[in-house]
Structure 1
């Protein structure tokens, strides 16, 4: 425990039945491990020594009474922003006495402290100077000019303790703590830099990669810091010139991000003898007809004009330039797609479509599209299915291995089909897999498929150092294909598996795992630029391409349930130099309850309570019953949970029940809201379609071997419980028809959740593709 940092003290009281007053400290320390846990009690006090150990016998007589006050120093949270915050840091110390005389009493700076002093005094100030010089002292806040650097890699070797404690997955590893400090501290540094300069933190700052190499030879630590940046503050065209008189100069035109909306499709032409589209018309809303930049910059800064004002003339000129570059063999893949001929752009400066307020530019179909994705290329050479298990639970699964696993399933079972759904910021492919009875037709409809059967989407690894979600959703998929009892459920439910939401982070976490298998590895937690991988998913032009994938899957399948399994540290989080600021989000210090293991749990169980959706609440509580039954069906998972719940209560809830809460449902920690939501507040998925979405927390940072088996089993039980809920439901498709002059109409719909016998349509959506893409807000940092 580290309660001294918040001003509280800890007293350990032990009552012994088997030791007398003559027991020596050495004998006590050897024997204490044989004590029953109930014989040890902790008390929190507000004065006196930081730690006090008091041992009594059965009669209450004191056997031992010793105290200890750790040495600490006060230092700025950031040297560069010394007035921001001060933090207490435990330090090294040498104290020696002889014959009652003190002969040494002085601080010894530890190796981690020496590194942190160097990082604060040398590394971060250089980065600060780089950003301020590049942006002329005024970096734009938010993500307007992100990223602000390429990568920051800290390679460090240090002789520090690094071992497991034989208490579940607990470890003692100061370099794990240094990884946390480097990662979260650097991201926080950019937030404060932006707030101090322009009032808004800098987001998507860049890649931060701490590479820790523990050693045990006692030799001096070594560190190498590699930092890459950019030549300009944002994309720009710079022309250096020399005139006839020999004078030189430079002209620069910045190319900032604009507020241009995503184009909308307005025209499609097909031909009976040609696949795909012969011609596609797109409308884009602009601000003006003519390019008025020269006059506008007299009214506002050039940067503001370039960011906010786009003319039809610019769009027209851009298309013409792309056409010209293509004719020279350049950018042949840009705006070039298989099955698409020419593209016509309507640049209109009115809100409503108006041919009289339009400039038209056409890009001929003369490009060279990139090759289509072939999932067979993911398979090992000459591989064939021999009945062996496909999904392993020994190590974390990186993207290449996970994608190979679903390719093996697709190659072996007709019920599995896989497809590429996008790319990540670093260019890694993202794949998904549909599981349903095989379809022989050349064309089929997702909307029809999800109308006749309920659909569930499993979307894993948003926070990619939370490794077990990929493992259990892929194992769930494999069992649906190989176990006959599970396979039968595909006749009643469509299952979609999306194993990697954040492939960049997943690959980095795996690469770091190979050196530090027991560390938390938060460098793989967020997307590659230090922001959540789903950030900006609703934007017209997001920084992370992967942020849109979940929305695309939702819009394609319109699922009944959308699942987003997560994880958190499997051992106590330690941050040596920031008073655990990595655990604080949006000013909520109560987030520190994520600092140590509390078993498998659900951090929030949202449900809809709205008369417009009269069955949603009941359905959610039925789902909860399925979940708790499934989790408790595994004896080893149940025991792990109760063991960690008890530890969490003993060292957390008993001292600070406001922060360390333990709301239990059927012996499972599920954090329930005080009441349901209306489902209409702008967050989450459209409740007319998706009746429930949920997330989990498994102590899986980082899990491997038997621990992965344990937390993977918990996740698999959750996966199967929710599928069982859909499989057991009485889903009925209601059909209605009507005639009109010259034709008839046929309407089919399936109530969600299942309706009553009277055909209750309470949750029927009149516009099924209206949706809200943003995931429900998560209340925890890890």
Structure 2
């Protein structure tokens, strides 16, 4: 597939290189194509697949009807998640009129693809059908790229139909062959077919350009260094006419603009891993900060601007610093509602330390020089303590707030403890900036550190942010690590790399509040007993349980094999982990990326409930020892 007006030239200035590219809007290309085809014959049927919002597709449909005449049958379907839009836009009116009570949807299983891929692409139809009172049956089918549906009332079939899935084979940045969504145009005249071929979407044009122009330049730069660094910043700004819309079910969203930012971020990492022979699941690369931003600009030509800033010198660790009290008394009313900026998190942590007479230290700094403070209590008679950490992955937003809210409960216990409420302040600062632009996007670009690695997997001796965790564990002799995390609140997609996010497939669909327990060899019985105690405590949070039950039911309907086990009806993962920081690590996973308001508050309470149950279990274990 060629890219219109490809211009690989880049402009350079000092330590920066900038590329710019425009992409003709697929809607205009569609209309021009149909207009040209009219010279060959009068169209009687037009079926187009474009990656556009429902409103833009409705406008294109009406424009095509005007162009082709009222006698021409025109359908403009979505090239992205075609099954979802086909069912909700074309079948929903049918089942309502016919009072259907059951829908069977047969999804394809294509050779070489994950057998559940197209079941997942139909998500969240299960929730839509449940709300409509229509029983959903998803059935694996043939090896052809089509969905087939039947509407039923009782045992009577009321309607049958099918939906083509336009796909294109491509190579992902890590070298895998995948099939990805593409646009399509089929035009039929009374005399026969006029056209039946792909129509590249705006997202495809951008991604082809990025992979053919930007990634090779990055890999070339990586080959020029031997210190593991590649760039200081890689800024990618997109304006494309692509769908970005909230759904009225669960906290779901369908957003190709967001999906493209995920492709830029993880695709760049994947390409570098392949280039350096780094294992695909490693989080140890330090390429630099990757910052993709995508805006939906309906009906306009697309444009992209990429700016790469090179290091003028390798980063160096700085002298220690302290965070003096801010002098401002901070309440908790807004604290529980949404993420706080790093400075306010630090100020509230210092306030709590002063209020409860806790030790205060700044054992580490980030790469960009931001502090990583700790609240510590030691000197209690108990031989083992508790470590609480939040904000390791900075786009997982409820953890730092919950860590602060849990401090009074820790103070009331008789345990030694250390609390690191914000381990990754550079990521948190970036996340705050990104959410000012796109508050409903999950922004995994802010997940890792400024170097681009996961601080929990940084190689070599502890440096920068990683110093704090080891320091705090040793300070209180922690035997229990409470690590507060989150994951996407809506479907996580990488459309040009196999659909589900490669390496994170099990987290692609939200399943409610999930709890993970890692344990050292010999700790399996303790971990399972603790998980049981945690589940019983979570059941007291009625809203958390109700939300999790519904989300889990919906996601499970679109997965062949969920990777969780249910304990008292709630999802858990228990696994032996020899490399865990402590004998038992409890990891809370709230679907909190893009969550605000009451839902944010609910998940903060869920984190705290898990922490309370785990600490209470630990206290009982010590008392019985």
- TM-score, with structure 2 as normaliser: 0.74
1:400 has 2:296 as partner: no
In the alignment, is the contact (CA less than 8 A) between 1:430 and 1:501 conserved in 2? yes
In the alignment, is the contact (CA less than 8 A) between 1:602 and 1:670 conserved in 2? yes
In the alignment, is the contact (CA less than 8 A) between 1:195 and 1:201 conserved in 2? no
1:528 has 2:470 as partner: no
1:569 has 2:488 as partner: yes
* RMSD, matched Cα: 3.5
In the alignment, is the contact (CA less than 8 A) between 2:320 and 2:362 conserved in 1? no
Cα distance, 1:551 vs. partner? 0.5
Cα distance in 1 for partners of 2:129, 2:135 equals 11
Cα distance, 1:20 vs. partner? 7.8
Q: Which runs of 5+ in 1 are unaligned?
A: 22-28, 236-256, 258-332, 335-369, 437-445, 481-485, 585-590, 610-615, 732-753, 756-782
In the alignment, is the contact (CA less than 8 A) between 1:152 and 1:228 conserved in 2? yes
Within the candidate set 152, 170, 177, 1:56 is matched to 152
Q: Secondary structure at the match of 1:514?
A: helix
Q: Which residue of 2 aligns with 1:669?
A: 571
CA distance 1:159–1:548, change in 2 (3 Å): same
Within the candidate set 570, 576, 580, 1:684 is matched to 580
1:464 has 2:464 as partner: no
Cα distance, 1:17 vs. partner? 10
1:109-142 CA deviation, whole Å, 9 max, x = no partner?
A: 211111112212221222233344x35xxxx5xx
Cα distance, 1:44 vs. partner? 1.0
Cα distance in 1 for partners of 2:421, 2:359 equals 14
Cα distance in 1 for partners of 2:614, 2:412 equals 12
1:415 has 2:415 as partner: no
Cα distance in 1 for partners of 2:320, 2:372 equals 16
Q: Which residue of 2 aligns with 1:223?
A: 304
Cα distance in 2 for partners of 1:77, 1:729 equals 50
Cα distance, 1:704 vs. partner? 1.5
In the alignment, is the contact (CA less than 8 A) between 2:396 and 2:486 conserved in 1? yes
Q: Secondary structure at the match of 2:457?
A: coil
In the alignment, is the contact (CA less than 8 A) between 1:390 and 1:405 conserved in 2? no
1:190-231 CA deviation, whole Å, 9 max, x = no partner?
A: 1222239xxx99921221111223334x22222211112257
CA distance 1:496–1:130, change in 2 (3 Å): closer
Q: Secondary structure at the match of 2:300?
A: coil
1:41 has 2:137 as partner: yes
Q: Which residue of 1 aligns with 2:324?
A: 375
CA distance 1:192–1:695, change in 2 (3 Å): same
1:380-432 CA deviation, whole Å, 9 max, x = no partner?
A: 5xx346xx426612222332121121123234x14344321210111111111
Within a 5 Å distance, the mapping from 1:106-125 to structure 2 comes to 106-125=197-216
CA distance 1:33–1:152, change in 2 (3 Å): same
Cα distance in 2 for partners of 1:202, 1:722 equals 30
Q: Which residue of 2 aligns with 1:597?
A: 510
Q: Which residue of 2 aligns with 1:578?
A: 497
Cα distance in 2 for partners of 1:163, 1:17 equals 24
Within a 5 Å distance, the mapping from 1:233-252 to structure 2 comes to none
CA distance 1:50–1:430, change in 2 (3 Å): same
In the alignment, is the contact (CA less than 8 A) between 1:396 and 1:703 conserved in 2? no
Q: Which runs of 5+ in 2 are unaligned?
A: 1-78, 101-124
Q: Which residue of 1 aligns with 2:276?
A: 194
Q: Which residue of 2 aligns with 1:185?
A: 267
In the alignment, is the contact (CA less than 8 A) between 1:193 and 1:201 conserved in 2? no
1:611-648 CA deviation, whole Å, 9 max, x = no partner?
A: xxxxx555434422321122110111010111112112
Cα distance in 2 for partners of 1:725, 1:570 equals 29
Within the candidate set 366, 370, 376, 1:424 is matched to 366
Within a 5 Å distance, the mapping from 1:126-275 to structure 2 comes to 126-132=217-223, 134=224, 140=226, 145-195=227-277, 203-216=285-298, 218-230=299-311
Task: Give 1 or 2: higher helix fraction.
Answer: 2
Cα distance, 1:58 vs. partner? 2.5
Cα distance in 2 for partners of 1:202, 1:422 equals 19
Cα distance in 1 for partners of 2:285, 2:383 equals 42
Cα distance, 1:603 vs. partner? 3.5
Cα distance in 1 for partners of 2:425, 2:195 equals 53
Within the candidate set 421, 426, 449, 1:499 is matched to 421
Cα distance in 2 for partners of 1:152, 1:714 equals 36
1:527-576 CA deviation, whole Å, 9 max, x = no partner?
A: 22221113336x33x5x411121111111110231111221111111112
Cα distance in 2 for partners of 1:475, 1:404 equals 14
1:632 has 2:544 as partner: no
CA distance 1:666–1:59, change in 2 (3 Å): closer
Q: Secondary structure at the match of 2:585?
A: strand
Q: Which residue of 2 aligns with 1:476?
A: 406
Cα distance in 2 for partners of 1:494, 1:116 equals 51
In the alignment, is the contact (CA less than 8 A) between 1:49 and 1:67 conserved in 2? no
1:555 has 2:485 as partner: no
CA distance 1:601–1:131, change in 2 (3 Å): closer
Within the candidate set 159, 163, 182, 1:91 is matched to 182
Q: Radius of gyration: which is bigger?
A: 1
Cα distance in 2 for partners of 1:202, 1:16 equals 51
Cα distance in 2 for partners of 1:707, 1:415 equals 32
In the alignment, is the contact (CA less than 8 A) between 2:492 and 2:500 conserved in 1? no
Cα distance in 2 for partners of 1:49, 1:619 equals 48
Q: Which residue of 2 aligns with 1:517?
A: 439
In the alignment, is the contact (CA less than 8 A) between 1:466 and 1:566 conserved in 2? yes
Q: Which residue of 2 aligns with 1:71?
A: 166
Cα distance, 1:496 vs. partner? 2.4
Q: Which residue of 1 aligns with 2:55?
A: none
Q: Which residue of 1 aligns with 2:412?
A: 489
- TM-score, with structure 1 as normaliser: 0.60
In the alignment, is the contact (CA less than 8 A) between 1:178 and 1:575 conserved in 2? yes
In the alignment, is the contact (CA less than 8 A) between 1:191 and 1:201 conserved in 2? no
Q: Secondary structure at the match of 1:696?
A: strand
Q: Which residue of 1 aligns with 2:385?
A: 455
Cα distance in 1 for partners of 2:264, 2:346 equals 31
Cα distance in 2 for partners of 1:371, 1:530 equals 23
CA distance 1:428–1:33, change in 2 (3 Å): same
Q: Secondary structure at the match of 2:290?
A: strand
Cα distance in 1 for partners of 2:261, 2:277 equals 25
Q: Which residue of 2 aligns with 1:713?
A: 605
CA distance 1:564–1:390, change in 2 (3 Å): same
